[in-house]
Structure 1
Amino acid sequence: MNARNAMAASATLHCLTGCAIGEILGLMIGTAAGFSNTATIALSVALAFVFGYLLSTLPLVQGGVAFAAALKVVLAADTLSILTMEVVDNAVMALVPGAMEAGLVNPIFWLSMMLALSVAFVVAFPVNRALIDRGKGHALTHGMHTGHDRRGPTLQTGTLAVGVIAFLLGGLVVSIADELEGAPAPPAHGASR
């Protein structure tokens, strides 16, 4: 993988991780609070932007960049990527029959979320690549902070991405277990009907 593709993959994974954290948190809060689908989606999108920006801003601040300067660069660098992911992710969730109504203990929700985030990654990658080719997007943050690994995702981003994947799989496992627990037991072998 060439350096620009690696940087685009890193930028896309970085945005995806923040988006996933914000969206899942928003969906959990909205579902638990009994919000409407529209209010839940609005909360999820807002939190996706917050966490997306936060995951990009913190490494710059840790590298010695002032918070306001770091946030200004991150807003310019990540907004189009996060926006692309949010549009695609929410469109996929809306298009999968029953995904929005499924609830957090239904495997349809978790499988749909995994599909939506995967499609969002695929669509946002060329957006990030085009921004990097123009010296915009994630390339802006590389000029501010030299601790970032230009070859690919940072350990911090990779660790967070693994955590998000584990959380999604955990949600899927719990929802499948809940479905199985609620299913009627099969008749015992040799039992009369």
Structure 2
Amino acid sequence: MSGRINLVRIRIVDADITTLEVDVVVNAANSSLLGGGGVDGAIHRKGGPEILAECRKLRAGHYGRGLKTGQAVATTAGKLPARWVVHTVGPVWSATEDRSELLADCHRNSLALARDLGAKTVAFPAISTGIYRWPLASAAGIALTTVHQAEAGPIEEVVFALRGDAAVDAFRARHNSLA
């Protein structure tokens, strides 16, 4: 499924984000920047040691205590068919505390960094919906609304690379409600 929001083309696909030929792949990273499970682990494994080496340099410098939730930082994409990886740390979902703005910051700051890099194509996973337990419908709404409101700049296309029917259906339903 695809459509346009502002001047940015939106595509929602069931795909492995590590196989997409885009300028920027957004990594749902953990704060250590040193790899982990899910999307983060897949990006580090398939991207190779160059990504980890740059993440270690970031940790040795400005991000010594790790990357804060909602922030974004870029590294090489290593062996991935992308130019850069933008790492962002999503919030853990809470039934008692509204952390929606932090999830929006992940998308907003990743897009701003991608624009600064001159990227024309950006691929996002469903940030925070794995082990951080964010409900899919809510995450889809926040992600798509944030992309809808963001300045496009050089970005021409945003791809939501999701896994499974539930994620694709949630994102498509939200996309259709914004169209």
TM score, norm. by length of structure 2: 0.33
Greater share of strand residues, 1 or 2?
A: 2
